[in-house]
Amino acid sequence: MKCRTMERRLSRWLDGECPPREAEAIRAHLEGCEGCRAQWNALLRLDRQLRREPPAASRPVDLTCQVMSRLTDRPRPRVRFIPLVAAYAALFLLVFGLTWIVLPGPATPPVAIAASEPEPVLFTALLAESGRLHLRGVEASTLEALGGDR
Amino acid sequence: MPIVPTDDEIVAAVQSGREQDYCLLVERYQGRLVRLIERMIQDRDEAMSLAQDTFIAVFRALPRYRPEGRFAPLLFRAGKNLTLNWLKRHRRVTLFSRLGQGDERTPCQIADERPGPEQELTQARRNARLDAALRRLPDNQRLALILKVYLEFSYERIGDITGWRTPKIESLIFRARKNLIGWLAQEPAGPDVVSQEMEE
């Protein structure tokens, strides 16, 4: 066992977390190593000092009443803003919709539906004009007149 | 219910509607919880308040609790989280207020520079110096050391509370001790605590 690794082992040993075999090896090392023994003593002194309770810590603690009273004084569930707005909006729409359906609306003049003429159907025709080819939209009658195929 | 019910038995009673039984758990753990928090933040009143908050938070989490004997780790984990959050908030406020005064020292440095006459090496002063040294430790090191030394938890139990693995816990405790020994040996005002202890 080397001194370099002892510091960490000593801390673990102090915490009672060393397996028996390792603890035995540490003990054997300490017997023959003054430097590591000094480290061990420093660790022990620090531990002793840490475990001395300051006066405040020795005062008894009793939180039972406070905790239990806080548990019984539970806050009421808060009404969330967004659901409230949504509820009002739904109510408004319901009332408005019912009014629209039940009440007769203002008399409106009948709308005359004009008979619309059918839109002319256009075909794309490949025309040869003065030695050049053109693509043009032509009506069916024109296409027939030109002797083209649909 | 047996004379000394287990944590899980008490939790089961609370879950079934006997909320007043929660006081048994408060009585059982309040001392250790306050001790942990007080050692971490070094403020008795705040520690009591944070411990109350912890018990309330854990109570509210009980409907989701499964009886696996994990109540104590759950409680201490909640206490640790609230404490670390408190430390973060408190440190930020202290730092800002100091910076506002043109003082750029960190709270830890401020705490560490408490002057003290050499002749007043009483027990109270030693505790104050040790407290100052503990405050200088990084939160993780201090938490690991407190859980081990003051609450006497095993590494395994500390792992349950903190979520750290054993090598990390071992390393944190080791470094905490090394730091404390080093800092206490460097105390400028009078002989260091370790030397004093050796003379005893």
Q: Give how far B90 is from chain A: nearest CA, Å.
A: 21
Question: What pLDDT score does A144 carry?
Answer: 63
The gap from C-alpha B10 to its chain's centroid, in whole angstroms, comes to 26
Report the pLDDT value the prediction gives residue B200, as an integer from 0 to 100.
Answer: 38
Q: Indicate the SS3 state at residue A123.
A: strand
Which residue from B23, B170, B194 is facing A68, i.e. has the nearest CB?
B23
Rounded to 5°, the CA angle B93-B46-A15 comes to 100
Decide if pLDDT at A83 tops 80. Answer: no
Closest CA of chain B from A55, distance in Å: 9
Q: Averaged in consecutive runs of 10 residues, what is the pLDDT profile of chain B (200 residues)?
A: 83 92 94 92 92 95 86 94 92 57 44 51 76 92 94 94 95 96 75 43
> Which pLDDT belongs to residue B107?
45
Task: Give me Rg for the CA atoms of chain B.
Answer: 20
Q: Lowest-pLDDT range, A79-83, A107-111, B74-78?
A: A107-111
Half-sphere exposure of residue B200, counting CA atoms within 13 Å on the CB side? 12
Per-residue model confidence (pLDDT) at position B8: 93
At B103 the pLDDT is 42
* DSSP 8-state secondary structure symbol assigned to residue B188: S
Contact status of B155 with chain A (Cβ, < 8 Å): yes
On chain B, the residues whose CB falls within 8 A of the CB of A52 are: 123, 127
Cβ-based contacts of A70 with chain B (< 8 Å): 52, 56
**Does B173 contact A at CB distance below 8 Å?**
yes
Cut 0.80: pTM above it: no
Which chain A residues contact residue B38 at CB under 8 A? 56-57
CB contact under 8 A, A51 and B150: yes
Q: Is B61 at the interface with chain A, CB within 8 A? A: no
Q: List Cβ<8 Å contacts ≥24 apart for A120-124.
A: A123/A148, A123/A150
Residue B135, both tokens: 């405050």
Which of A91-105, A122-136, B142-156 reaches the highest mean pLDDT?
Answer: B142-156
Most confident by average pLDDT, A31-35, A126-130, B128-132: A31-35
Report the distance separating Cα A130 and Cα A133, nearest Å: 8
A–B interface: beta-carbon pairs under 8 A: 90
CA–CA distance, A149 with B33 (Å, rounded to integer): 96
Give the mean pLDDT of A60-77.
78
In whole angstroms, give the CA distance from residue B112 to residue B95: 15
Query: Higher pLDDT residue, A49 or A103?
Result: A49
pLDDT value of residue A4: 83
The answer to whether residue A87 scores a pLDDT higher than 90 is no
Task: State residue B67's pLDDT score.
Answer: 80
Nearest chain A residue to B23 by CA: give it.
A64
